[in-house]
Amino acid sequence: MRKHFKTVIEKFTQAWSACMICMVQGDLTVLTMSHAFTASKTGILTGLAYMLTVKGNGEPRSQWVAAWVTGVLTMVSDIVVHPSHFGEQWVEAFCTGIGAAALCYIWERKTK
């Protein structure tokens, strides 16, 4: 149970961070509590979806697979949670997914 909680927190943090940066298009001076709340919804959804995804299959052995799964789940979560702040509906979500995947890959490299 403790391992699953740790996984949810890690994925929440990766998705939350990427979502915060993408929502303000990199301008961190305009961050608000509303942005943090919206990013929290994306993070929670990503963390729970990741836990459910890997619970039956086990944690991915490859850092690339873990990053890919995190990125895809973050993108889907972002699409579900809020409308895009730039471009088509999927553009911001795609950027958020790429950011979360990059953070996941970096995290996996540091902890292995």
Predicted TM-score (pTM) of this structure:
0.88
Give percent above pLDDT 90 in the chain: 57
Compute the radius of gyration of the chain from its Cα atoms: 13
Give the pLDDT mean for 78-102: 88
Predicted confidence (pLDDT) at residue 3 exceeds the cutoff of 80: no
Res 84: pLDDT: 77
Predicted confidence (pLDDT) at residue 86 exceeds the cutoff of 80: no
Res 112: pLDDT: 62
Predicted confidence (pLDDT) at residue 110 exceeds the cutoff of 90: no
Nearest in space to 82 (alpha carbons), one of 7, 8, 9, 23: 23
Question: What are the residue boundaries of the structural domains of the chain, listed by start?
Answer: 2-111
Query: How far is the C-alpha of 30 from the C-alpha of 74, rounded, in Å?
Result: 22
- The pLDDT tens digits of the residues spanning 6-43 come to 889 999 999 999 999 998 888 888 999 999 999 999 99
